Each structure stands twice: as C-alpha cells, then as structure tokens.
Structure 1
C-alpha cells in the first residue's frame, strides 16, 4: 500500500500536469486595432492643417493690428480679410497639391495595367486622393479656426481685455484642435496639444512684436 501510495503520489506529482486550452476563446483583435488610420490621412491632414492655420494666422494678424491700433473695427476688418484670403489660398493650394498627387498615382496605375497581360493592376492602393475633398476640407477648417479670434473680440470694447480674451480663446482652441487631430489620427494627445499650443504662441508673439517694432520705426 505504501508503494501504491508512492506510485500514486508520483503520478499525481509528475504526470497530472495537463495543459488546458480554452477552446473557442481565442483573443480577437478589437475593432480599433483593425482601423487603418492611414486612410484618414488625406482629409485629416487637410482639416487639421486648415483649422490650425486659420486659427493661428488670423489671431496673429489681429494681435499684430491690435498692437498698434486700439480700434476694434481695424482688428475685425483685418481678421475678416485674413479669413477670406486664407480660406481661398488654402483651398487653391490644397487642390493643386493633391491634384498633382492624383495625376502621379493615376499615371502609375496605368503603367501597372500596361505591364500586365490581363490588363489588371496589382496596385495595393484602395483609393486615389480626392482634390476637391481636400480643398473643401481645408477651406472649411480654415474658416472655422479663423472665426475663433473674431468671435472672441467682437463683443469686447476694452482694448487690453480684448487682447487677453483673444489670447485665451486661441490657446484653448489650439488645445482642442490638437487633441482632436491626435484622437482621429491615434497619436499621443499630450504631445500633439503641446506642440500646437507652443507653435501658436510663438506665431502670435512674433507677429505682435514685429508689428510693434515696425510701427515704432515709422515714428
């Protein structure tokens, strides 16, 4: 009995370790991991670039004018002119740029089709870039960004308070735009927000300082 017990103990200690596999419980990749974020790059790049450009350029323009003139009308006129000119410039520039990319990819696809006897392309590209979509996204985003400093200034008569409110509203909008771009592109949020915020501050400070310097030099 002692030997039998020893054998039983031996079996239990040396041979009972059976690997257990969970049948049918294989880990499935989440829906988020299957998202191809590169497919968002075309419109996301145009939208984020347009929004940040509209916000920073118009805010910098208004801050520069506000640095030499306290009249709210001058700041709003400068902001509106910057909005219209910037939106048109962004749309045209984005259209030309993306259309050039479109022509290049179409030409490449034709070469690939001609290289195959069956006339089919082996390209892995799923979608060609859309110049019209990129242009509209860029112009619309620029306008949205440009409206932020204008709306922040329109109801404030005191010059110093107006300048401070514009700076605060623009800083908050920069953080929001940076965060949205990071979330949609699945990139680090803090790094994106910090980068956009510092860039916007630098643009406004440089424009304000150089405008003040130019006005002082004329005197």
Structure 2
C-alpha cells in the first residue's frame, strides 16, 4: 500500500498559475530620460535666450518674441533630431538582420513596427521641449515692468527646475536631492553665462 508521501500529484498545465509578464523598465527609463531632458532643455534654453536679450534690450515684447522663436526652433530641432537618430538606429538594426540572413518576412515586420515608433520618438521630446519652454513665456506675458519680469522669470525657472528634477527622481525611484541640485545649479550657470556674455558684448559695442 503506497503512503501519501509516495503519491505524486500532477497539476494540469491549464490550471497552473500563469507566469508574470516581464516588464522592461529600461525602455520606460529611456522615455523618461528623453522627456525630462526635453523639458529641461526647453526651459533652460528659452529662458537663457530671453535673459540674454533682456540684458541689453529693455522691452518685454522683445523678450517674449525671442522666447517664442526659441520655442518653435527648439521643438522642431528636438523632433527632427530624435527622428533622424532613431531612424539611423533602425537602419543599422535592419542591415544587421539582413547580414545575418534572417527570414525576410521577419525583417519587414520588424521594420514596419519600428517605423511606427519613429513618430512617437520624435513627438515626445518635441512636446516635452514645448512644455518646458512655455514656463518662462507664460511668466513674462502678464508682466509689463522689465526688471520685475527678469526676477519673476528667474524665480519661476528655479521652481520648475526643482519640479522637473523631483518628477524624474520619483518616476525613476531614485533620491531627489542630487538630481534637483544638478538641474538647478546647471540651469543657473547657463543663464548666468548667457546673461553675462551678452551684457559684456553689448557693453563693448560689438
């Protein structure tokens, strides 16, 4: 007579618990990095342009138009640059697959799938840049006094840099102090250099 320990219970495959689907966090990190970099780039580059022009030309309208031009040019540059970069990566991957003499149908399906992601890759940094660039522009639109606009823009950008750093840290599950400090100090340095060099150039009549 067999004991209970000798009895083997076989669980049908249909009733076994399904394995958890693997989630690629590295892909999410790449999108997060592109979004944070795009927003930060839009914020810092546009406000630096506005600060540089505001250092030598006393007029709110001029600062706003300068910022708007920087917003449009920067967003388009981010979109086109990312599109070209991702497309180049796709060309390399497709060429490698063809060299390895893989199934032509598999190559075509992979190429179509990646092509659909090219426009997403181009749109994401452009929108992020646009949102970042709107921060100093919106802060300036409602202010008429030149010096006050510079103060408000600086305060607004400082707050936004801290927010961007914090959001990136929270989504990436990392401590927030260092990313915020890096963004804040880097943004201040860029604005100071742009403002200072523009002021210096204007003072020497160049």
**Which of 71, 85, 103 is the aligned partner of 1:83?**
71
Query: Is residue 102–residue 131 contact of structure 1 (8 Å, CA) maintained in 2?
Result: no
Unmatched tracts of structure 2, length 5 or more: 1-19, 108-112
CA distance in 1, matches of 2:24, 2:177: 22
Query: Which residue of structure 1 lines up, in the alignment, with residue 203 of structure 2?
Result: 216
Query: Which residue of structure 1 lines up, in the alignment, with residue 177 of structure 2?
Result: 190
Higher radius of gyration, 1 or 2: 1
Query: Which residue of structure 2 lines up, in the alignment, with residue 45 of structure 1?
Result: 33
Q: How does 1:117-128 map to 2 (within 5 A)?
A: none
Query: Which consecutive aligned stretches of 4+ in structure 1 deviate over 6 angstroms post-superposition?
Result: none
Higher alpha-carbon deviation: 70-79 or 130-139: 130-139
CA distance in 2, matches of 1:95, 1:145: 20
Query: Which residue of structure 2 lines up, in the alignment, with residue 99 of structure 1?
Result: 87
Q: CA RMSD in A?
A: 2.3
* Residues 95/37 of structure 1: CA separation in 2 closer, same or farther (3 Å cut): same
Query: Which residue of structure 2 lines up, in the alignment, with residue 149 of structure 1?
Result: 136
TM-score when normalising by structure 2: 0.79
Unmatched tracts of structure 1, length 5 or more: 1-30, 122-126
2:164 is equivalent to residue 162 of structure 1? no
Query: Is residue 90–residue 142 contact of structure 1 (8 Å, CA) maintained in 2?
Result: yes
Q: How many residues in Structure 1 have an aligned counterpart in Structure 2?
A: 179
